[in-house]
Chain A
Amino acid sequence: MKAISLELYKLRHKHLFLMVTLFLTVEIAWAFMATSMSISHNPDNAGWEPLIAMLSSMNGLFLPILTAICVSRICDMEHKGNTWKLLLTVSIRRSTLYAAKYISTSIIMLVACLLQVLAITAFGIVNGFEQPVPLLLLIRFFIGTVLTNMIIIALQQWVSMAVKNQAFALSLGMVGGFIGMAADLLPLGVQRIFVWSYYTGLSPITQSYTNEKMQFIVRDLNSLLPMMVVLIAAGIGIYLAGCVHVSRQEV
């Protein structure tokens, strides 16, 4: 706990929360504008499903980049100020520091996901959607997004900690954003290899074209569970590999 609160303390004057909020505002505003236009063309789309599907696919583009920036800012301060030696000589363990950074970033991204859920709810209510707020769908959307984020954080943190030059980590984030956006266009087998594709992959809503019309289908939760288990296992693997690799590096 002390290490986590210290990480959050070290983020002072970095305006990270402001940056995350602004970034999310752009994403949400874009998603809502697109949904509003879609509703004005086709009033049948005035429902929760298209809205959640829209945000899931936008997340594929925005969240990998946002995650890369957050992780990079949290890790880079140790490289920039040459503080690894300082921290290690006050007897903090590298694995503790690694975990504290991971949890801190996860908390920030969790808040970001929560903001998205609140924004979706507010948008639906303001636009007078007929159906009641779909709590279960929103929770599933939230869990899917948070889970994908956590795996991406593990990957980004490994790169950000191991390679001093943050251009690598940020480039990875941008590549991830591109893959996340284009994931639905790839064959399913290829999609599953890329962790960034899971924003839409774990979304409770899927889209399909039938008779040249877009259909929004609610996915069966049971069909997503095995995928989640595999993803969690991959996340743990990436985290541990990163932690061990970084701990073995000499300062």
Chain B
Amino acid sequence: MAETVVKLRLNQQQLELIDRTIAQGVAPDRVALVRLALHEYAAARKAEVHKSGMEQAQ
């Protein structure tokens, strides 16, 4: 299936923070950092939902 392109609009301060984060070795480039953020953010939410479900079941 085709990829979907989302065009983020970021100002120079936001880009500075992103670039400093990349410089720490977190991701190789800006796009990779956004992808990493998506994967980790979604995984954290999935874990929260799972934890909440486990607690309700107890």
A, B from the same assembly: no
